[in-house]
Homo-oligomer: A and B are copies of this chain.
Amino acid sequence: MISFGARRIHPVVAPMVERNAFIGGCDGVSVVKNAEFIGEEPAGTMPHALILIMGDTVEATRAFDEVIDPRVKRVSLIDTFNDEKMEAIRVAEALGKKVFGIRLDTRSSRRGDLQKIIEEIRWELNVRGFGRVQIYVSGGLDEKPILALNPVVDAYGVGTSITNARVIDFALDIIEIDGKPLAKRGKMSGSKSVLRCSKCFQDKMVPFKKNRGRSILGADRCSCGGRLKELLIPFIRDRKILWDLPKPQAIREYVLEQLPHYDL
């Protein structure tokens, strides 16, 4: 899955948003600057504009193939002018082994049953000996169609549903004044520790105790028998940052390790 959503957000925040898309699990991002920012190679395919200017999908794919760095995979965008099935066959027959994949960005007015269209393309490519050509899909995707399309699709480009994801409501609140717990209605008062069980992955919120060191905590046990680990650690103390920030790649790995423990 490649993050395609940079064009949906203001350019000044795009690098931060695509960094988060990457951290959250995307395999790559499509804007060159944003990819640099996180230390990855940019990923993407040819645009509709190229095909419109060239006037033909096969011509545009051929031109792309002639000019672009050979390390870049040739993924032909096949929905510009004609039916995806016919264009997929034409591109595959014209460029043969050079074609790494095809991409469908099919407009909603032509998307009666996207899965059937793709099954048809898969069949027609296979029947003609192009079984190894990959199928990419983009355009208005979120987790629901992706789960349905997984059996027939190899890769996705996802934009709006990532950059404009549902807001997660949170707030900074005063919950303690001079060491005395005090909070507005609707908030629990007093400093807190959040403990996560390393086995059952349940979180537990408990009142913060000053002298409870991390080593001591290790001795605490979850009711399931797992070890409880403190999630909150001091990051700034006496105006000094105490820890180096991990790289996006390391954070992403940490996220992906944790994902299987949650019921999404």
Contacts and interface: CB of A to CB of B under 8 A. Distances in A.
A12 interface: yes
A127 B193 CA distance: 13
Interface in A161-216: 164, 167, 169, 173-174, 177, 181-190, 207
A79 B185 contact: yes
Nearest to A184: B80
A127 B160 contact: no
Interface in A20-70: 48-49, 51-53, 55
Contact of A81 (B81, B86, B207): B86
Main secondary structure of the interface of A (DSSP, over half): loop
A81 B89 CA distance: 12
A127 B182 CA distance: 11
Copies in the complex: 6
A110 B185 CA distance: 8
Contacts of A189: 123-124, 127
A48 B184 contact: yes
A47 B197 CA distance: 36
A220 interface: no
Contacts of A107: 112, 184-187
- Residue from A49, A108, A186 with most neighbouring chain B CB atoms (10 Å): A186
A85 interface: yes
Interface stretch (A113-121, A229-237, A249-257): A113-121
